[in-house]
Each structure stands twice: as structure tokens, then as C-alpha cells.
Structure 1
Amino acid sequence: MSRPELTAPPEIFYNDEEAKKYTFNSRIMAIQEQMCERALELLSLPEDQTCLLLDVGCGSGLSGMVLEEHEHHWIGVDISSSMLKIATERVTGDLLLSDMGQGVPFKAGTFDGAVSISALQWICNIDKSSHSLNKRLNAFFTSLFACLARGARAVFQFYPQSEQQISIITAAATRCGFMGGVVVDYPNSKKAKKFFLVLMTSGMVKLPKALGDGDAHRHKNKKEDKLRKCSKTWIFKKKERRLMKGLEVKRDSKYTGRKRSNRKF
């Protein structure tokens, strides 16, 4: 499969048609969910605490839905208006049309963490004569470092084209104040291998351990955990968040959150 970032700039490649194809592809939805769950794990956020997160390259909100399931507040930025148009109908997070290569326009210390799924490699494509890779990387990582709270992390799942590209991105993040490196899950698998750039704003913290072949059962356990989230309390909290956003929600009834019977008819 050819890389979409080599085909056209993201704001052009992800037009209305491509945005819908991407969003409603069941395989992509499942992969995006797994990768966002892993990114949250690598963020090492405080347990049982609602955080404000930045989703860089949020697209149509597939990763944002995972953040909401974990009861985090979030703001998403993306360069594709078609992707954001779909996201407004699916998620409750605040959305901003923006090119990450020009920096993220937020106040210092705003976010408790940042995630990015399948987006970072796009910044390395020079689509205009005015673009400079070093300038775009510096603008992005400098502004990201500033808008993260002290001690916060940023986790990027991405698809690097080469070892050289990994080195360029990591070096740029380091110049801007970050510490950390790349965690490679399932390094011996061509299909399951995933790259995560884990960046830390402070402290000499050891990089998280990468997943290997013995961790394949984790996806099943995550599914079971997700089912437990669909409790009555979880549903009421989600509806409350949507109401605060001014979105329409279904009225409560005696059937809201009721466990379904296993009987077959």
C-alpha cells in the first residue's frame, strides 16, 4: 500500500470522500482505537483523574472517542477541514483547523499531555516552496513543549519512512527541550510493528517497555475493560458532558444503562 503522505498534502488528500472512507472503515477504526489506548498507557496519566489532553492530527475523531471513553477532556487540531467536519458530528472535544507545522497556538502549561495517532509523518513532507523541514519541526515542538504542563508527556504513534527520518524528528524534539525516544512495539512482526515517540518535558525518566509477542492477549483484555465502561454511571457522565457542549442527547428512562438479557428469541 502506497503512503498517502507521498500522494498529496493532507488537506488535499483527505477530501470529503477520503475522510468518509477513512472514518467508517472498520479495520481502521479498530487499529486507531488500539493505538490510542496504547498511547494513553505510555502517557502514564494519574489514575482516576480527568485530564485535559491535546490530540494532534485528530482527524475525524477516532482517537478522540477513546479519550472520551477514558473520561478525559481534549482539544483536537487537524489541517483537514473535511476530517473535522465529520468529527463535529461524532465527538464532544473542541476542534481547531490548524497546520501543526506552524505550531500549536495554546497558552503555556495548558495541557496535561498530548497524543497523536498516525499524523507525525505528515510534517516531514515539504509540499510548498516556502516550507523548511527544520523550521516546521522547530515551530511544532517548541510550541508543544510550551503548552504542556511541567512533567507532562507527549506520545506520537507514527509511520516513519526510514531510520534517518526518526533521527531527524527525535533530534528536533530534543533541541526544543524534550527528553525521551522511540518505543517500538512488536519489533519482530511486519504487521503488528508500531512506532511510538515518547517525549517528556522534565526528569530523567526511563523509557517505557515495548510490547512483545507475549503481550498479544492484551487486546482481548482491553475489550473486556471497555465493556465494563458501558455502565449506568458511565452513560450518565457521558450524556452530561455532551449536554455541557450543547449537543443533543436522548432522554433518560428506566431502560438507560440496563444490562441486556442473554436470552435468545
Structure 2
Amino acid sequence: MSRPEDTLPPDLFYNDSEAQKYTTSSRIQSIQASMTQRCLELLQLPGPSFILDIGCGSGLSGEILDEAGHVWVGMDISASMLAVAIDRDTTGDLLLADMGQGVPFRAGTFDAAVSVSAVQWLCNAESSDVSPQGRLSRFFDGLYASLKRGGKAVLQFYPKNELQRTMITGAAVKAGFGAGLLEDDPETKNRKVYLVLTVGSGGELSGLDITDAVQGMEGVEVVDERRRHTATKRGETTKEWILRKKDRDRRKGKVVKKDSKYTGRKRKIQF
């Protein structure tokens, strides 16, 4: 059976009829509720929080966030899905947006983020001038910037293969996240992968370190590639590395000095 993301782009696949069918399926409602509850369990939030629901669809996950006492904003690429959410009187604010183009919110807006069955869509490119790596990079860079210091995100996704799994986790680490992977039911066809992310440390939402947050859970795999990326600098020159770091800090809302012809230039020894 072909995967939905291999047939059409999400905004075309989830048309009016598919959006209705998806929302009214009791099986999908049950699965969506279970996975959203699992995301909240892994987030370990200290209390009511402001949460971004990425790929919110028709608001099924939002209902679980409501029940847990959280305030949420949802973004999705499918106008049909969002129309169903509006018809269902969803409480969250809704935004029509493509997460592969970034997360268009002010830096430090959200306490946390969740996503259910959406991130794997970023691994498909609909045209030759768009790459999965570029879409993943824009998404994770934008998500990192939109979360508060000490914020967390849990993204449930279905990787097609090991390559997709590595692409997704690698893009998250490259954006600056502390990252851990958790698999539920790893030996069955119902295997579900959760990417648990943290933004820095400190603050009331920091809770446990990412390693401790998933420690002892069956199927855990802590992703720790940041040192490797820093040490190798991905083959960049010193100036390229500095410019990339400054650009990322700008997206996080930090004040950064303007670039100039002297940026990254080796200074002569003076006496």
C-alpha cells in the first residue's frame, strides 16, 4: 500500500472529501488522541502552556490539548482540513501555512510544540527546485526560533526508511536542538517514532535534560551529533561558519552585529 505522501502534496491530498473522511473516522480519532496524549506525556509540562500544533489538520489533536488545559495555535497546509476545524468550532487559532517554508511566528512565542503524523511529508519534494533537506532545515530553524529558551517539542512521525529518519533527526540537531528518539511498539507494524526536542536549558519549562527525559523508556535512542557537527564544521571555512551562526542567531531574535568585509578575517599579530 502506497504512503499518502508518495502520491500527492499534502494540500492536494487532503481535499474536502479526504478531510471529512479523516476527521469522521473513529479509528483515526482514537489513534490521534493516543499519540497526542503520548506527546504531552513526553513534554512533561509543569502546567497550562502555550503550544504550537504543527500539522494540526481538523483539530483532533487540539481537542486533547484543550482537555489538558493548554492554549494552542495550529498551523496546516491544507485549507480543507482547516475548514473542517472551523466547522467543528475548534478553540485554537488557526494558520494556513506550509511548515516546509518555516514557522512564521515571533521568536520565543511558544512554551512547547507538538506534531502528529506530519513531519515525514517534508521528506518529499514536489519540484526539482525544492529539496527535502531545504524544507527540513527551514522547518527546524523556524521551530527552534519560535520556542522559548528551555522549551520543548515532541514530533511523532512515520519515517519511510532509515534515510528519512536520519535526515529528520540530523536537521533538528543542526538547528540547535537537543534531540532524542523514542519508539513505541518497535517490533510491530504499529511502530510509532517520537522525536523529543529541547531548546537550551534553564527556565521553568526546562525540566529534565533530554537524555534523562527519555532514559529508561524502552526503545530509546539519544541523538547526540552536535559535537560532531561543531568539530567538523561540515567542511566550512571559518567565515562561512561565522556567517551561518550569525544568521541563525538573527532568526532567534538576537541582536547580531552587521556583516562586513572583515567578518571572519584572520587578524595580523600586532605589537
Q: With the length of structure 2 as denominator, give the TM-score of the two structures.
A: 0.75
Cα separation, 2, equivalents of 1:26 and 1:42: 25
Residue from 47, 52, 61 that aligns with 2:50: 52
Cα separation, 2, equivalents of 1:190 and 1:129: 33
Question: Residues 31-66 of structure 1, C-alpha deviation per residue, up to 9 Å, x if partnerless?
Answer: 0000000001111100xx221000000001010111
Cα separation, 1, equivalents of 2:200 and 2:87: 37
- Cα pair 2:180 2:210 within 8 Å, conserved: no
**Distance change (3 Å), C-alpha of 1:210 and 1:7:** farther
* Percent identity of equivalent pairs: 55
The alignment yields a C-alpha RMSD, in angstroms, of 1.3
Greater CA deviation, 112-121 or 197-206?
197-206
Unaligned regions of 5+ residues in structure 1, if any? Answer: 213-265
**Aligned: 1:8 with 2:15:** no
* Pairing of 1:12-161 with structure 2 (within 5 A): 12-46=12-46, 49-90=47-88, 91-161=90-160
Question: Partner of 1:201 in structure 2?
Answer: 199
Q: What's the CA shift for 1:210?
A: 3.4
The alignment of Structure 1 onto Structure 2 pairs a total of residues equal to 209
Secondary structure at the aligned position of 2:87 is classed as coil
Q: With the length of structure 1 as denominator, give the TM-score of the two structures.
A: 0.76
Q: What's the CA shift for 1:133?
A: 1.7
Q: What's the CA shift for 1:129?
A: 2.5
Secondary structure at the aligned position of 1:160 is classed as coil
Secondary structure at the aligned position of 1:188 is classed as coil
Q: Report the residue type matching 1:13 in the other structure.
A: F
Cα separation, 2, equivalents of 1:132 and 1:94: 30
Unaligned regions of 5+ residues in structure 2, if any? Answer: 202-208, 220-271
Q: Report the residue type matching 1:77 in the other structure.
A: M
Query: After the TM superposition, which segments of 4 or more aligned residues of structure 1 sit over 6 Å from their partners?
Result: none
Q: What's the CA shift for 1:121?
A: 0.3
Question: Partner of 1:216 in structure 2?
Answer: none
